[in-house]
Amino acid sequence: MGDKNEYRYDAIVIGTSAGGLDALGIILPNIDARLPVPILIVQHISASSDSFIVTYFDRLCSLTVKEAEEKELLQPGVIYFAPPDYHVLVEEDRTISLSNEEKVNYSRPSIDVLFETASWAFGSRLIGIILTGANWDGAAGSELIKKAGGLVIIQDPKTAAVARMPESVLERFKPDHVLPLEEIGPLINRIFFLTPTQ
């Protein structure tokens, strides 16, 4: 994946917790199979979880879905899920690093760890999305994405299974979009297929 493409953004990161599987089940299958960037996802899960999430979404989505692996180079059109009990970091060369260092915001994987490192790697060319969840993980990372010039989308807390996570973003700053789940996938498609820039 080159440093530049014809689009405004080079990657998407998504963070969610309680209620996240249902939320992702509405968004991910609606994303166009031609998506020219990778998507990295932290779903708070038990350390003992198996590969059910990856198998489930790979069947559901037109994009390739896999578990993130150490030193893997990010590829367009692939959805990467954080493996159980590992933080996912994005390096400056846009490869993945996995870490089992201490929990952040009581979580491993942590949304903030992914969002912050992705923001350092992609700068203004990053989209961050926060969905339903019960704590504040991802709020600081979302703010970093916004400050770097990236785009931040959150699920409308009124439509969230658990409103705390998107509310924690609103308490820190004003995101670019506050949307019900059904509108997030179509927005991503519009960003990449209706508004290319040189």
User: Whole-prediction pTM value?
Assistant: 0.94
Average pLDDT of the residues of the chain? 93
Would you list the domain boundaries of the chain? 11-193
Is the pLDDT confidence value at 198 over 60?
no
Q: What is the pLDDT of residues 14-73, one digit of tens each?
A: 999 999 999 999 999 999 999 999 999 999 987 777 778 999 999 999 999 999 999 999
CATH architecture of 11-193: 3-Layer(aba) Sandwich (3.40)
Q: HSE on the CB side for 124, CA within 13 Å?
A: 4
44 a catalytic residue: yes
Residue 87 annotated among the catalytic residues of the structure: no
Point out the catalytic residue in the list 87, 107, 119, 137: 137
> Which DSSP string do the residues of 78-113 spell out, in sequence order?
EEEEPPTT-EEEE-TTSBEEEE--S-BTTBSS-HHH
pLDDT in tens, 149-176: 999 999 999 999 999 999 999 999 999 9
pLDDT exceeds 60 at position 195: no
